[in-house]
Amino acid sequence: MKKAILLVSFGTSYVDAAEKSLGCICQDLADETGSIPVYQAYTSGMIIEKLSGQGKKMDTVDKAICTMLDKHITNLYVIPTHMIPGMEYQKMVRAVEKYRPAFQELKIASTVLHEREDCGKMVLLLCEMLQFQHDYTYILMGHGTEDRANIRYHQMNEAFVQSGIVNVHIASVEAEPDLGDAMQVIEKQGFAKKVILHPFMVVAGDHARNDMAGKEDSYVTKLKGAGYQVEAVVKGLGEYAAFRRIYVDKLRKLQS
C-alpha cells in the first residue's frame, strides 16, 4: 500500500503568492503525515500555460494522477483548496473520479465552505486571524461565481450579523454581493472612517493585486472616490497558519 496526497487549486500565475500560501499548505500537509508525498495540481489550463511560458512547471489533475499511478500509488487523498463547492470544485471532482477504479482507496475532501454551517465557523476563525477592530470597517473580497454555491458569500454576511459583527462585509468580484452592495450597507451604517480591504481568497493573486488593490478601477480607487480612507492588505488566507489548519483537519478526516 502506497499513499499520496494531491493538493488541487484553481491556480495563480503569481509564483511568490503561491509559495506563501499553497506552498505552506503543502508543507503543513507533509508535516502532518511525515512520510506521505504531497503532489500539487492546478485546474486552470490558462494559468498552467502562462506559467510554462515563464519557465515554471505545474501539473494538471490528470498529469499529477498519472504520475502517481506510474509510481504505483494505491491510496490517494485529494485536498482541494477551493472556498466553495462551485463549478471549479465540481470540475476537479469529475477529473479525479474517472481514476477511481485505478486506486484501492480514493477520497476527496470537501471545500472550506461546503455547508452553510461552515460559515459560522469561518466567522470565528476570521475574528481570530484578522483581529477586527470596532473603529474600522472591513471588506473581504471573494471571487464569486454564477453557480448556486455563490450563496455561501451571502450566508457569510448573514453569519457575521448573527455573530453581532456589523462592520465586516463580504464582496465578490464576479457575482453578488459585490462592492456596490457592501458600500450601500456601509453608507447606511454611517460610522465608517477607514475601510480595510482583505482578500477572502486562499491566494493573493491577480484579483487581490488588481481588482482589490490596483491603481485603476479597483476596490481601493472606488472607495477612495467615495471619500473613504482605505488600506488594502494583500495577503491570502493561505498565508495564515490558523486558516491552513482547515486543510490539515480535512486530511485527518479522510484518513480516519
- The CA distance from 235 to 20, in Å, is 9
Same domain for 231 and 123? yes
User: What's 15's domain CATH number?
Assistant: 3.40.50.1400
Same domain for 124 and 223? yes
Same domain for 55 and 144? no
Residues 6+ apart with CB under 8 A from 227: none
Within 5-131, residue ranges assigned H as helices are: 15-33, 45-53, 61-70, 87-97, 117-130
Q: How confident is the model at residue 129 (pLDDT cuts 50, 70, 90)?
A: very high
Range 205-215 average pLDDT:
96
| Domains contained in the chain, number | 2
- Which pLDDT belongs to residue 152? 98
- Which pLDDT belongs to residue 65? 98
Q: How confident is the model at residue 151 (pLDDT cuts 50, 70, 90)?
A: very high
Same domain for 107 and 57? yes
- Which pLDDT belongs to residue 66? 98
Same domain for 47 and 14? yes
Residues 6+ apart with CB under 8 A from 216: none
Same domain for 83 and 146? no
Q: How confident is the model at residue 163 (pLDDT cuts 50, 70, 90)?
A: very high
Same domain for 213 and 188? yes
- The CA distance from 167 to 206, in Å, is 26
Least confident of 48-52, 76-80, 192-196: 192-196
Same domain for 109 and 35? yes
Which domain range does residue 210 map to? 117-235
Same domain for 149 and 65? no
- The CA distance from 116 to 79, in Å, is 20
Same domain for 133 and 106? no
Residue-wise pLDDT for 7-63, tens only, equals 999 999 999 999 999 999 999 999 999 999 999 999 999 999 999 999 999 999 999
- Which pLDDT belongs to residue 198? 98
Same domain for 141 and 94? no
Residue 191 has pLDDT above 90, yes or no: no
Range 203-226 average pLDDT:
97
Same domain for 86 and 177? no
